[in-house]
Structure 1
Amino acid sequence: MKRRQSPWGAALPGHRAPSTTVSSGWWRRPHEPRARPRCAAQAPQTGTGHPHPARPARPRPCPEARLRRAPYTHPRRRGPAPRQSRSRTPSPRRRLRGTRVTLDDFDWTTAIQIDRRHLNELFSLHFLARKEHVLLIGPVGVGKTLLAQALGATATRAAHSVLFRRADLLLRELGQARADHSFEAAFRRYLAPDLLILDDFGLHRLTQQQSEDLYALIIERHRRSSFIVTSNRDVSEWVGLFADPILANSALDRLANGAHQLVIDGPSYRAKLAPRPPAEAPMT
Protein backbone atom coordinates (compact mmCIF):
# COMPACT_ATOMS: atom_id res chain seq x y z
CA MET A 1 0.00 0.00 0.00
CA LYS A 2 1.38 3.34 -1.00
CA ARG A 3 1.70 5.91 1.74
CA ARG A 4 -0.21 9.10 1.33
CA GLN A 5 0.97 12.47 2.54
CA SER A 6 -0.80 15.79 2.87
CA PRO A 7 0.34 18.80 0.86
CA TRP A 8 1.67 20.37 4.07
CA GLY A 9 4.13 17.51 4.73
CA ALA A 10 2.25 15.79 7.59
CA ALA A 11 1.25 12.18 7.25
CA LEU A 12 -2.43 11.43 6.87
CA PRO A 13 -4.25 9.51 9.62
CA GLY A 14 -3.64 5.79 9.38
CA HIS A 15 -0.28 6.20 7.67
CA ARG A 16 3.03 5.98 9.49
CA ALA A 17 5.58 8.69 8.82
CA PRO A 18 8.92 7.59 7.43
CA SER A 19 11.75 7.07 9.86
CA THR A 20 14.27 9.92 10.25
CA THR A 21 16.87 7.97 12.19
CA VAL A 22 19.90 8.07 9.91
CA SER A 23 23.64 8.10 10.34
CA SER A 24 25.44 11.12 11.70
CA GLY A 25 26.62 13.54 9.08
CA TRP A 26 24.08 12.86 6.33
CA TRP A 27 20.68 13.96 7.61
CA ARG A 28 20.79 16.79 10.09
CA ARG A 29 18.71 19.70 11.24
CA PRO A 30 19.52 23.12 9.79
CA HIS A 31 20.76 24.54 13.10
CA GLU A 32 22.97 21.57 13.95
CA PRO A 33 26.60 21.48 12.68
CA ARG A 34 27.76 18.52 10.71
CA ALA A 35 29.58 16.04 12.88
CA ARG A 36 32.97 15.03 11.50
CA PRO A 37 35.18 12.36 13.02
CA ARG A 38 38.58 13.36 14.31
CA CYS A 39 40.45 10.56 12.62
CA ALA A 40 39.84 7.55 10.44
CA ALA A 41 39.62 5.23 13.43
CA GLN A 42 36.69 7.24 14.83
CA ALA A 43 34.68 7.30 11.57
CA PRO A 44 31.09 6.02 12.13
CA GLN A 45 29.70 2.93 10.49
CA THR A 46 27.11 3.12 7.75
CA GLY A 47 23.60 3.73 9.17
CA THR A 48 20.71 1.34 8.59
CA GLY A 49 17.71 3.64 9.26
CA HIS A 50 17.61 5.04 5.72
CA PRO A 51 16.97 3.05 2.57
CA HIS A 52 20.11 4.54 1.00
CA PRO A 53 23.55 4.08 2.60
CA ALA A 54 24.97 7.10 4.33
CA ARG A 55 27.77 8.99 2.58
CA PRO A 56 30.98 8.43 4.56
CA ALA A 57 32.40 11.56 6.07
CA ARG A 58 35.94 12.55 5.10
CA PRO A 59 38.15 11.63 8.04
CA ARG A 60 40.54 14.16 9.43
CA PRO A 61 44.18 13.17 9.93
CA CYS A 62 45.14 12.10 13.41
CA PRO A 63 47.44 14.39 15.42
CA GLU A 64 50.19 11.78 15.10
CA ALA A 65 49.86 11.85 11.32
CA ARG A 66 50.13 15.64 11.31
CA LEU A 67 53.43 15.43 13.14
CA ARG A 68 54.77 12.99 10.59
CA ARG A 69 53.67 15.09 7.61
CA ALA A 70 56.31 17.32 6.01
CA PRO A 71 55.58 21.05 6.25
CA TYR A 72 54.31 22.74 3.10
CA THR A 73 56.68 25.00 1.23
CA HIS A 74 55.66 27.34 -1.55
CA PRO A 75 57.20 26.31 -4.90
CA ARG A 76 58.75 29.75 -5.39
CA ARG A 77 60.28 29.70 -1.94
CA ARG A 78 61.79 26.31 -2.14
CA GLY A 79 65.55 25.98 -2.10
CA PRO A 80 67.60 24.73 -5.03
CA ALA A 81 67.00 21.19 -6.15
CA PRO A 82 69.48 18.64 -4.81
CA ARG A 83 72.37 18.15 -7.14
CA GLN A 84 72.55 14.78 -8.74
CA SER A 85 75.66 12.74 -8.36
CA ARG A 86 77.93 13.28 -11.34
CA SER A 87 80.79 11.24 -12.55
CA ARG A 88 84.21 12.67 -11.94
CA THR A 89 85.18 11.93 -15.49
CA PRO A 90 85.92 15.29 -17.13
CA SER A 91 83.88 16.55 -20.06
CA PRO A 92 85.53 16.35 -23.49
CA ARG A 93 84.64 20.00 -24.13
CA ARG A 94 86.68 21.18 -21.19
CA ARG A 95 89.77 22.90 -22.44
CA LEU A 96 93.26 22.01 -21.38
CA ARG A 97 94.42 23.68 -18.22
CA GLY A 98 97.34 26.00 -18.70
CA THR A 99 96.58 27.04 -22.27
CA ARG A 100 99.29 29.68 -22.00
CA VAL A 101 102.00 27.00 -22.02
CA THR A 102 104.13 27.35 -25.14
CA LEU A 103 107.30 25.84 -26.51
CA ASP A 104 109.15 28.96 -25.36
CA ASP A 105 108.56 27.90 -21.74
CA PHE A 106 110.85 24.92 -22.21
CA ASP A 107 114.31 25.41 -20.73
CA TRP A 108 116.71 24.75 -23.57
CA THR A 109 119.73 25.49 -21.42
CA THR A 110 119.56 22.03 -19.87
CA ALA A 111 121.77 19.34 -21.30
CA ILE A 112 119.08 17.27 -23.01
CA GLN A 113 119.13 15.51 -26.34
CA ILE A 114 116.06 15.92 -28.54
CA ASP A 115 115.33 16.18 -32.24
CA ARG A 116 114.37 19.86 -32.50
CA ARG A 117 113.41 19.57 -36.15
CA HIS A 118 110.98 16.75 -35.46
CA LEU A 119 109.59 18.66 -32.48
CA ASN A 120 108.93 21.78 -34.54
CA GLU A 121 107.13 19.63 -37.09
CA LEU A 122 104.84 18.31 -34.35
CA PHE A 123 103.93 21.85 -33.30
CA SER A 124 102.62 22.49 -36.79
CA LEU A 125 99.78 20.09 -35.79
CA HIS A 126 99.87 18.19 -39.06
CA PHE A 127 99.65 14.96 -37.07
CA LEU A 128 96.15 15.98 -35.89
CA ALA A 129 94.94 16.40 -39.45
CA ARG A 130 96.34 12.97 -40.34
CA LYS A 131 94.93 11.33 -37.17
CA GLU A 132 98.40 10.28 -36.02
CA HIS A 133 99.80 9.84 -32.53
CA VAL A 134 102.80 11.17 -30.60
CA LEU A 135 104.88 9.18 -28.11
CA LEU A 136 107.24 11.12 -25.83
CA ILE A 137 109.74 8.69 -24.30
CA GLY A 138 112.47 9.53 -21.79
CA PRO A 139 113.58 9.37 -18.17
CA VAL A 140 112.00 11.41 -15.40
CA GLY A 141 112.51 15.15 -15.29
CA VAL A 142 113.41 15.79 -18.93
CA GLY A 143 110.23 17.78 -19.76
CA LYS A 144 107.92 15.20 -21.36
CA THR A 145 104.82 16.46 -19.56
CA LEU A 146 105.65 20.09 -20.32
CA LEU A 147 106.05 19.35 -24.03
CA ALA A 148 102.77 17.38 -24.04
CA GLN A 149 100.97 20.29 -22.38
CA ALA A 150 102.49 22.74 -24.84
CA LEU A 151 101.31 20.60 -27.75
CA GLY A 152 97.85 20.39 -26.22
CA ALA A 153 97.71 24.14 -25.63
CA THR A 154 98.70 24.76 -29.24
CA ALA A 155 95.94 22.42 -30.41
CA THR A 156 93.43 24.19 -28.15
CA ARG A 157 94.31 27.56 -29.62
CA ALA A 158 93.73 26.00 -33.05
CA ALA A 159 90.11 25.15 -32.03
CA HIS A 160 90.75 21.46 -31.32
CA SER A 161 89.21 19.75 -28.30
CA VAL A 162 91.91 18.45 -25.96
CA LEU A 163 91.76 16.34 -22.81
CA PHE A 164 94.78 15.88 -20.55
CA ARG A 165 94.66 12.94 -18.14
CA ARG A 166 97.06 10.81 -16.20
CA ALA A 167 96.95 7.25 -17.52
CA ASP A 168 96.42 5.57 -14.14
CA LEU A 169 93.58 7.94 -13.23
CA LEU A 170 91.87 7.37 -16.57
CA LEU A 171 91.90 3.59 -16.13
CA ARG A 172 90.76 3.93 -12.53
CA GLU A 173 87.81 6.10 -13.56
CA LEU A 174 86.79 3.59 -16.19
CA GLY A 175 86.87 0.88 -13.54
CA GLN A 176 84.69 2.95 -11.21
CA ALA A 177 82.30 3.62 -14.08
CA ARG A 178 81.85 -0.11 -14.53
CA ALA A 179 80.93 -0.42 -10.85
CA ASP A 180 78.15 2.21 -11.01
CA HIS A 181 76.92 1.15 -14.48
CA SER A 182 78.02 4.37 -16.23
CA PHE A 183 80.85 2.88 -18.29
CA GLU A 184 79.32 3.68 -21.67
CA ALA A 185 78.96 7.38 -20.86
CA ALA A 186 82.47 7.58 -19.38
CA PHE A 187 83.98 5.73 -22.31
CA ARG A 188 82.32 8.08 -24.82
CA ARG A 189 83.82 11.09 -23.03
CA TYR A 190 87.29 9.77 -23.78
CA LEU A 191 86.38 9.10 -27.40
CA ALA A 192 85.07 12.62 -28.04
CA PRO A 193 88.17 14.90 -27.93
CA ASP A 194 90.35 15.41 -30.97
CA LEU A 195 93.46 14.94 -28.86
CA LEU A 196 93.73 12.76 -25.75
CA ILE A 197 96.93 13.18 -23.73
CA LEU A 198 97.88 10.25 -21.48
CA ASP A 199 100.60 11.26 -19.06
CA ASP A 200 102.96 8.89 -17.22
CA PHE A 201 101.87 5.68 -18.88
CA GLY A 202 103.55 2.52 -17.64
CA LEU A 203 104.01 3.33 -13.96
CA HIS A 204 102.15 0.16 -12.90
CA ARG A 205 101.31 -3.16 -14.43
CA LEU A 206 97.75 -3.27 -15.78
CA THR A 207 95.07 -5.63 -14.56
CA GLN A 208 93.02 -7.75 -16.93
CA GLN A 209 90.15 -5.27 -16.91
CA GLN A 210 92.45 -2.28 -17.38
CA SER A 211 94.14 -4.04 -20.27
CA GLU A 212 90.80 -4.60 -21.96
CA ASP A 213 89.68 -1.00 -21.36
CA LEU A 214 92.91 0.47 -22.76
CA TYR A 215 92.77 -1.90 -25.73
CA ALA A 216 89.18 -0.82 -26.50
CA LEU A 217 90.15 2.86 -26.17
CA ILE A 218 93.07 2.52 -28.58
CA ILE A 219 91.01 0.53 -31.08
CA GLU A 220 88.13 3.02 -31.10
CA ARG A 221 90.33 6.12 -31.41
CA HIS A 222 92.72 4.69 -33.99
CA ARG A 223 92.43 6.50 -37.35
CA ARG A 224 89.67 8.71 -35.88
CA SER A 225 91.55 10.95 -33.44
CA SER A 226 95.01 11.34 -31.93
CA PHE A 227 96.91 10.35 -28.80
CA ILE A 228 99.87 11.91 -27.03
CA VAL A 229 101.44 9.44 -24.61
CA THR A 230 104.33 10.19 -22.26
CA SER A 231 106.21 7.36 -20.58
CA ASN A 232 109.39 6.60 -18.71
CA ARG A 233 109.59 3.17 -20.36
CA ASP A 234 110.65 2.30 -23.84
CA VAL A 235 107.91 1.18 -26.22
CA SER A 236 109.42 -2.32 -26.31
CA GLU A 237 108.64 -2.66 -22.58
CA TRP A 238 104.94 -1.82 -22.92
CA VAL A 239 103.95 -5.33 -23.94
CA GLY A 240 104.91 -6.65 -20.51
CA LEU A 241 102.60 -4.14 -18.82
CA PHE A 242 99.45 -5.77 -20.24
CA ALA A 243 97.87 -8.76 -18.54
CA ASP A 244 97.16 -10.33 -21.93
CA PRO A 245 100.04 -10.29 -24.46
CA ILE A 246 97.61 -10.75 -27.37
CA LEU A 247 95.76 -7.56 -26.45
CA ALA A 248 99.09 -5.80 -25.96
CA ASN A 249 100.43 -6.71 -29.40
CA SER A 250 97.17 -5.77 -31.09
CA ALA A 251 96.88 -2.41 -29.32
CA LEU A 252 100.54 -1.39 -29.58
CA ASP A 253 100.72 -2.39 -33.22
CA ARG A 254 98.15 0.31 -33.96
CA LEU A 255 99.47 2.86 -31.48
CA ALA A 256 103.22 2.63 -32.05
CA ASN A 257 103.27 2.05 -35.79
CA GLY A 258 101.09 5.10 -36.44
CA ALA A 259 102.89 7.41 -34.03
CA HIS A 260 105.73 9.92 -34.01
CA GLN A 261 108.22 8.63 -31.44
CA LEU A 262 110.25 11.42 -29.89
CA VAL A 263 112.96 10.22 -27.50
CA ILE A 264 114.29 12.72 -24.94
CA ASP A 265 117.44 11.98 -23.01
CA GLY A 266 119.36 13.92 -20.40
CA PRO A 267 119.56 14.69 -16.68
CA SER A 268 116.51 15.62 -14.66
CA TYR A 269 115.56 19.28 -14.77
CA ARG A 270 114.22 19.05 -11.22
CA ALA A 271 117.79 18.72 -9.93
CA LYS A 272 118.31 22.38 -10.81
CA LEU A 273 115.25 23.33 -8.76
CA ALA A 274 116.44 21.58 -5.60
CA PRO A 275 116.96 23.99 -2.70
CA ARG A 276 120.54 24.69 -1.78
CA PRO A 277 121.99 26.18 1.39
CA PRO A 278 122.90 29.84 1.18
CA ALA A 279 126.51 30.70 0.45
CA GLU A 280 128.57 31.45 3.54
CA ALA A 281 129.68 35.02 4.02
CA PRO A 282 133.45 35.59 3.73
CA MET A 283 135.32 35.76 7.02
CA THR A 284 136.71 39.20 7.87
Structure 2
Amino acid sequence: MTLEEKLTTCKLSGIQKSYERIIEEAQDQAWSYREFFERLIDEEIISRENNRFNRLYKKAKFPNLKTIEEFDFFKASYVDKKQIIGLASCDFIGDRKNLIFIGGSGTGKTHISIALGVEACRKGKTVSFYTAAELGNKLVEMQDSLQLGKFIEKLKKVDLLIIDELGYIEMSHTTTQLMFQIFSERYEKGSIIVNTNLEFKEWPRIFQDERMTTAIIDRLIHNSFILTFNGESYRYRQQKEHLLGLNNKSVQQ
Protein backbone atom coordinates (compact mmCIF):
# COMPACT_ATOMS: atom_id res chain seq x y z
CA MET A 1 0.00 0.00 0.00
CA THR A 2 1.40 3.40 -0.97
CA LEU A 3 1.62 6.37 1.38
CA GLU A 4 -1.21 8.05 -0.53
CA GLU A 5 -3.40 4.99 -0.06
CA LYS A 6 -2.56 4.76 3.65
CA LEU A 7 -3.46 8.42 4.19
CA THR A 8 -6.72 7.89 2.29
CA THR A 9 -7.53 4.81 4.37
CA CYS A 10 -6.89 6.75 7.59
CA LYS A 11 -8.91 9.71 6.23
CA LEU A 12 -6.01 12.12 6.73
CA SER A 13 -6.84 14.37 3.80
CA GLY A 14 -5.15 17.42 5.34
CA ILE A 15 -1.81 15.62 5.59
CA GLN A 16 -2.37 14.05 2.18
CA LYS A 17 -2.69 17.45 0.53
CA SER A 18 0.29 19.06 2.27
CA TYR A 19 2.85 16.42 3.24
CA GLU A 20 5.13 16.99 0.22
CA ARG A 21 5.29 20.72 0.98
CA ILE A 22 5.88 20.02 4.67
CA ILE A 23 8.69 17.58 3.84
CA GLU A 24 10.43 20.25 1.75
CA GLU A 25 10.07 22.82 4.53
CA ALA A 26 11.38 20.34 7.09
CA GLN A 27 14.44 19.61 4.98
CA ASP A 28 15.13 23.30 4.25
CA GLN A 29 14.78 24.33 7.91
CA ALA A 30 16.26 21.18 9.47
CA TRP A 31 13.26 20.47 11.66
CA SER A 32 13.41 17.84 14.33
CA TYR A 33 11.17 14.77 13.97
CA ARG A 34 8.89 16.26 16.60
CA GLU A 35 8.57 19.58 14.75
CA PHE A 36 7.88 17.74 11.49
CA PHE A 37 5.22 15.53 13.06
CA GLU A 38 3.57 18.47 14.83
CA ARG A 39 3.36 20.46 11.59
CA LEU A 40 1.68 17.54 9.84
CA ILE A 41 -0.88 17.30 12.65
CA ASP A 42 -1.46 21.07 12.46
CA GLU A 43 -2.23 20.76 8.75
CA GLU A 44 -4.74 17.98 9.45
CA ILE A 45 -6.45 20.02 12.17
CA ILE A 46 -6.70 23.10 9.91
CA SER A 47 -8.10 20.97 7.10
CA ARG A 48 -10.74 19.41 9.33
CA GLU A 49 -11.74 22.76 10.79
CA ASN A 50 -12.11 24.22 7.29
CA ASN A 51 -14.17 21.22 6.17
CA ARG A 52 -16.37 21.50 9.25
CA PHE A 53 -16.89 25.22 8.67
CA ASN A 54 -17.77 24.69 5.00
CA ARG A 55 -20.27 21.98 5.96
CA LEU A 56 -21.92 24.09 8.67
CA TYR A 57 -21.90 27.22 6.49
CA LYS A 58 -23.66 25.36 3.68
CA LYS A 59 -26.30 23.97 6.04
CA ALA A 60 -26.98 27.42 7.52
CA LYS A 61 -28.20 28.67 4.10
CA PHE A 62 -27.11 32.27 4.56
CA PRO A 63 -28.14 34.47 1.61
CA ASN A 64 -24.51 35.59 1.29
CA LEU A 65 -21.23 35.65 3.22
CA LYS A 66 -20.79 38.56 5.62
CA THR A 67 -18.08 39.07 8.23
CA ILE A 68 -17.51 41.40 11.17
CA GLU A 69 -14.32 42.66 9.47
CA GLU A 70 -16.32 43.83 6.44
CA PHE A 71 -18.70 45.96 8.48
CA ASP A 72 -17.73 49.65 8.51
CA PHE A 73 -18.45 50.70 12.08
CA PHE A 74 -17.27 54.24 11.29
CA LYS A 75 -20.19 54.66 8.89
CA ALA A 76 -22.59 53.11 11.41
CA SER A 77 -21.72 55.01 14.59
CA TYR A 78 -25.00 53.91 16.16
CA VAL A 79 -23.56 50.39 16.44
CA ASP A 80 -21.31 49.66 19.43
CA LYS A 81 -18.26 47.97 17.88
CA LYS A 82 -16.95 46.70 21.20
CA GLN A 83 -20.31 45.09 21.97
CA ILE A 84 -20.50 43.38 18.55
CA ILE A 85 -16.92 42.10 18.86
CA GLY A 86 -17.89 40.70 22.25
CA LEU A 87 -20.92 38.94 20.77
CA ALA A 88 -18.66 37.43 18.08
CA SER A 89 -17.19 35.19 20.79
CA CYS A 90 -20.58 33.43 20.58
CA ASP A 91 -20.75 33.02 24.35
CA PHE A 92 -24.39 34.09 24.11
CA ILE A 93 -25.11 30.83 22.30
CA GLY A 94 -23.64 28.77 25.11
CA ASP A 95 -25.69 30.84 27.57
CA ARG A 96 -28.83 30.30 25.40
CA LYS A 97 -29.43 34.03 25.17
CA ASN A 98 -31.35 35.72 22.36
CA LEU A 99 -30.34 38.79 20.35
CA ILE A 100 -32.99 41.21 19.10
CA PHE A 101 -31.87 43.82 16.57
CA ILE A 102 -34.37 46.66 16.11
CA GLY A 103 -33.95 49.36 13.46
CA GLY A 104 -34.80 50.65 10.04
CA SER A 105 -34.06 49.00 6.72
CA GLY A 106 -30.42 49.02 5.63
CA THR A 107 -28.91 49.83 9.03
CA GLY A 108 -26.76 46.67 9.20
CA LYS A 109 -28.94 44.27 11.17
CA THR A 110 -28.78 41.50 8.57
CA HIS A 111 -25.04 41.96 7.94
CA ILE A 112 -24.17 41.67 11.62
CA SER A 113 -26.55 38.77 12.29
CA ILE A 114 -25.06 36.81 9.36
CA ALA A 115 -21.55 37.69 10.51
CA LEU A 116 -22.34 36.36 13.99
CA GLY A 117 -23.80 33.24 12.38
CA VAL A 118 -20.60 32.77 10.38
CA GLU A 119 -18.53 33.09 13.55
CA ALA A 120 -20.77 30.48 15.18
CA CYS A 121 -20.07 28.12 12.26
CA ARG A 122 -16.33 28.70 12.72
CA LYS A 123 -16.74 27.58 16.31
CA GLY A 124 -18.54 24.40 15.30
CA LYS A 125 -22.07 25.61 16.08
CA THR A 126 -25.06 24.68 13.94
CA VAL A 127 -26.96 27.62 12.46
CA SER A 128 -30.15 28.07 10.42
CA PHE A 129 -31.03 31.32 8.65
CA TYR A 130 -34.54 32.24 7.49
CA THR A 131 -36.44 35.39 6.69
CA ALA A 132 -39.65 35.54 8.72
CA ALA A 133 -41.63 35.00 5.51
CA GLU A 134 -39.56 31.96 4.51
CA LEU A 135 -39.90 30.39 7.94
CA GLY A 136 -43.63 31.03 8.07
CA ASN A 137 -44.15 29.48 4.64
CA LYS A 138 -41.94 26.53 5.53
CA LEU A 139 -43.91 25.85 8.71
CA VAL A 140 -47.21 25.86 6.81
CA GLU A 141 -45.70 23.61 4.13
CA MET A 142 -44.45 21.15 6.75
CA GLN A 143 -47.83 21.14 8.47
CA ASP A 144 -49.63 20.43 5.19
CA SER A 145 -47.25 17.55 4.41
CA LEU A 146 -47.59 16.14 7.96
CA GLN A 147 -43.88 16.76 8.68
CA LEU A 148 -44.28 19.67 11.12
CA GLY A 149 -43.16 17.76 14.21
CA LYS A 150 -40.00 16.55 12.51
CA PHE A 151 -39.17 20.05 11.23
CA ILE A 152 -39.74 21.72 14.61
CA GLU A 153 -37.58 19.08 16.28
CA LYS A 154 -34.83 19.83 13.74
CA LEU A 155 -34.99 23.58 14.48
CA LYS A 156 -35.05 22.87 18.20
CA LYS A 157 -31.65 21.18 17.97
CA VAL A 158 -29.96 24.01 16.04
CA ASP A 159 -27.55 26.02 18.20
CA LEU A 160 -28.52 29.34 16.61
CA LEU A 161 -31.68 30.25 14.69
CA ILE A 162 -31.61 33.57 12.80
CA ILE A 163 -34.93 35.12 11.76
CA ASP A 164 -34.52 38.10 9.45
CA GLU A 165 -36.99 40.76 8.27
CA LEU A 166 -39.61 40.25 10.96
CA GLY A 167 -42.18 42.98 10.43
CA TYR A 168 -42.21 43.35 6.66
CA ILE A 169 -45.24 41.12 6.15
CA GLU A 170 -48.29 40.32 8.27
CA MET A 171 -48.79 36.68 9.23
CA SER A 172 -51.99 34.67 9.17
CA HIS A 173 -53.43 33.29 12.39
CA THR A 174 -52.21 29.82 11.43
CA THR A 175 -48.69 31.03 10.72
CA THR A 176 -48.62 32.98 13.99
CA GLN A 177 -49.54 29.84 15.94
CA LEU A 178 -46.80 27.89 14.17
CA MET A 179 -44.22 30.62 14.80
CA PHE A 180 -45.21 30.63 18.45
CA GLN A 181 -44.33 26.92 18.59
CA ILE A 182 -40.82 27.72 17.38
CA PHE A 183 -40.27 30.40 20.02
CA SER A 184 -41.81 28.20 22.68
CA GLU A 185 -39.75 25.11 21.80
CA ARG A 186 -36.49 27.10 21.81
CA TYR A 187 -37.29 29.03 24.99
CA GLU A 188 -34.20 28.74 27.23
CA LYS A 189 -33.01 25.82 25.07
CA GLY A 190 -31.44 27.55 22.07
CA SER A 191 -30.47 31.03 20.92
CA ILE A 192 -32.40 33.12 18.41
CA ILE A 193 -31.38 36.28 16.58
CA VAL A 194 -34.36 38.33 15.42
CA ASN A 195 -34.01 41.29 13.05
CA THR A 196 -37.01 43.61 12.97
CA ASN A 197 -37.88 47.09 11.75
CA LEU A 198 -40.69 47.47 14.30
CA GLU A 199 -40.77 48.35 17.98
CA PHE A 200 -42.40 45.74 20.23
CA LYS A 201 -45.57 47.82 20.55
CA GLU A 202 -46.07 47.41 16.80
CA TRP A 203 -45.66 43.62 16.75
CA PRO A 204 -49.43 42.93 17.00
CA ARG A 205 -49.55 44.21 13.40
CA ILE A 206 -47.31 41.28 12.39
CA PHE A 207 -49.01 38.49 14.29
CA GLN A 208 -52.56 39.94 14.34
CA ASP A 209 -53.21 38.41 17.76
CA GLU A 210 -52.60 40.47 20.90
CA ARG A 211 -52.44 37.50 23.27
CA MET A 212 -50.14 35.45 21.05
CA THR A 213 -47.91 38.48 20.40
CA THR A 214 -47.51 39.06 24.13
CA ALA A 215 -46.56 35.40 24.62
CA ILE A 216 -43.99 35.53 21.80
CA ILE A 217 -42.39 38.75 23.06
CA ASP A 218 -42.33 37.42 26.62
CA ARG A 219 -40.33 34.36 25.55
CA LEU A 220 -38.02 36.31 23.28
CA ILE A 221 -37.00 39.16 25.57
CA HIS A 222 -36.39 36.99 28.62
CA ASN A 223 -32.65 36.37 28.88
CA SER A 224 -31.90 38.46 25.79
CA PHE A 225 -29.79 41.36 24.51
CA ILE A 226 -31.72 44.09 22.67
CA LEU A 227 -29.72 46.30 20.31
CA THR A 228 -31.17 49.31 18.50
CA PHE A 229 -29.93 50.38 15.06
CA ASN A 230 -31.06 53.99 14.91
CA GLY A 231 -29.38 55.88 12.09
CA GLU A 232 -29.15 56.55 8.38
CA SER A 233 -29.32 53.46 6.19
CA TYR A 234 -25.83 51.93 6.24
CA ARG A 235 -26.54 50.25 2.91
CA TYR A 236 -27.83 53.47 1.30
CA ARG A 237 -24.83 55.44 2.55
CA GLN A 238 -22.41 52.87 1.08
CA GLN A 239 -24.20 52.99 -2.27
CA LYS A 240 -24.30 56.81 -2.24
CA GLU A 241 -20.55 57.01 -1.59
CA HIS A 242 -19.90 54.42 -4.29
CA LEU A 243 -21.90 56.42 -6.86
CA LEU A 244 -20.18 59.64 -5.75
CA GLY A 245 -16.82 57.99 -6.32
CA LEU A 246 -17.85 56.86 -9.79
CA ASN A 247 -19.08 60.38 -10.67
CA ASN A 248 -15.83 61.95 -9.45
CA LYS A 249 -13.83 59.46 -11.47
CA SER A 250 -15.92 60.22 -14.55
CA VAL A 251 -15.38 63.97 -14.12
CA GLN A 252 -11.61 63.51 -13.76
CA GLN A 253 -11.51 61.51 -16.97
Give the TM-score of the pair, scaled to structure 2. 0.69
Which of the two has higher C-alpha Rg? 1
Match of 2:73 among 97, 108, 131: 108
Q: Which position in structure 2 is the counterpart of 1:188?
A: 153
The structural deviation recorded for 1:257 is: 2.5
Give the Å deviation of 1:98: 7.8
Q: Which amino acid aligns with 1:126?
A: D
Closer/same/farther in 2, CA of residues 109 and 222 from structure 1, 3 Å limit: same
| Alignment: residue pair count | 193
Pick one of 239, 247, 251 that aligns with 1:278: 247
Q: Which residue does the alignment assign to 2:123?
A: 158
Q: From 140, 144, 157, give the equivalent of 1:175.
A: 140
Q: Is the 8 A contact 1:138 1:233 kept in 2?
A: yes
Which residue matches 1:233? Answer: 198
Q: Secondary structure at the match of 1:176?
A: helix
Q: CA deviation at 1:219?
A: 0.6
Matched residue type, 1:273: Q
CA contact (8 A) 2:172 2:208 kept: yes
Report the equivalent of 2:163: 198
Q: TM-score, normalised by structure 1?
A: 0.62
Q: How many Å separate the matches in 2 of 1:244 and 1:164?
A: 25
d(CA) in 1 for partners of 2:170, 2:144: 21
Q: Distance in 2 between matches of 1:108 and 1:246?
A: 38
Matches within 5 A, 1:245-284: 245-271=210-236, 272-274=238-240, 275=243, 278-279=247-248, 281=251
* Long gaps (5+) in structure 1: 1-90
- What is the aligned counterpart of 1:139 among 104, 116, 129? 104
* Cα distance in structure 1, aligned partners of 2:176 and 2:190: 20
Partner SS for 2:174:
helix
CA contact (8 A) 1:199 1:230 kept: yes
For each residue in 1:183-227, what CA deviation from the matched residue of structure 2 results, as whole angstroms up to 9, or x when unmatched? 222222222211000011111122111110111110100111000
1:59-85 deviation per Cα after TM superposition (whole angstroms, max 9, x unaligned): xxxxxxxxxxxxxxxxxxxxxxxxxxx
What secondary structure is seen at the aligned counterpart in 2 of 1:109? helix
Query: Measured at CA, do residues 267 and 180 of structure 1 come closer, stay the same or move farther in structure 2, by a change above 3 Å?
Result: same
What RMSD over aligned residues (CA atoms) do the two structures have, in Å? 2.6
Given residue 162 of structure 1, which amino acid in structure 2 is its aligned partner?
V
Q: Secondary structure at the match of 1:104?
A: coil
| 1:192 partner letter | K
Aligned-partner residue type, residue 144 of structure 1? K
Give the percent of matched residue pairs that are identical in Structure 1 and Structure 2. Answer: 25
CA distance in 2, matches of 1:221, 1:262: 20
Q: Partner of 1:140: helix, strand, or coil?
A: coil
Amino acid in the other structure paired with 1:181? L
